[in-house]
């Protein structure tokens, strides 16, 4: 099971995206857990993640989070996919980045 962690500014704005990603993953038979937290909790929840995704509104934190979690895959969710709540596109992006 893959552990996908999303970070945003307060941990709330990504909650709908988490649901959409879970729905898409289920439809694709992709075994994963998706959770969202505030970026301030990166060092708490990031170490156990297979991949970390940042909401586009906090993309300026990309290098900071990568620095806090060396060796982890840290990416920014595509703004269009995020805005359209396109969970399928985000799951496909995750699969591509993880080589699944």
- Report the catalytic residues: 8
**Packing angle of the helix pair 87-98, 15-27 (nearest 10 deg):** 70
Backbone angles phi, psi at 88, to 5 degrees: -65, -45
**3-class secondary-structure state, position 81:** helix
Spell out where 9-49 has E strands: 32-38
């Amino acid at each position: 099971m893959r552990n996908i962690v999303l970070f945003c500014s307060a941990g709330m704005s990504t909650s709908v995206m988490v649901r959409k990603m879970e729905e898409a993953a289920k439809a694709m038979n992709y075994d994963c857990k998706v959770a969202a937290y505030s970026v301030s909790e990166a060092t708490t929840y990031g170490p156990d993640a297979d991949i970390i995704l940042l909401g586009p509104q906090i993309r300026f934190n990309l290098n900071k989070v990568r620095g806090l979690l060396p060796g982890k895959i840290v990416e920014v969710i595509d703004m269009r996919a995020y805005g359209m709540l396109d969970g399928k596109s985000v799951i496909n992006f995750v699969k591509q980045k993880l080589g699944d």
